[in-house]
Amino acid sequence: NAMAITDRCRLALTKLEIPTAEGVVLSLSASFGVACSHENMDIDNLFRDADRALYLAKERGRNQVVRA
């Protein structure tokens, strides 16, 4: 579920158009790392896993969601 929700957020961001004062329209993209905790995982390891997945998403070309 976390992957699907995160990907819907990513897609929603790509659909935004941000006009500037100069008349240029900017677009967005985003990369996300998703990690799920388990019974014996502490918060530091959870964030570390999510961070690794985020950087893997960037290495793979950005604008995607990667699960740890």
The neighbour count for residue 35, using CB atoms within 10 Å, is 19
* pLDDT value of residue 52: 97
Angle made by CA atoms 52, 60, 2, in degrees to the nearest 5: 55
Rounded to the nearest 5°, which phi and psi values hold at 31?
-115, 145
* pLDDT value of residue 39: 85
Contact 64, 6 (CB under 8 A): no
* pLDDT value of residue 34: 97
pTM for the whole thing? 0.82
Spans of the chain below 50 pLDDT: none
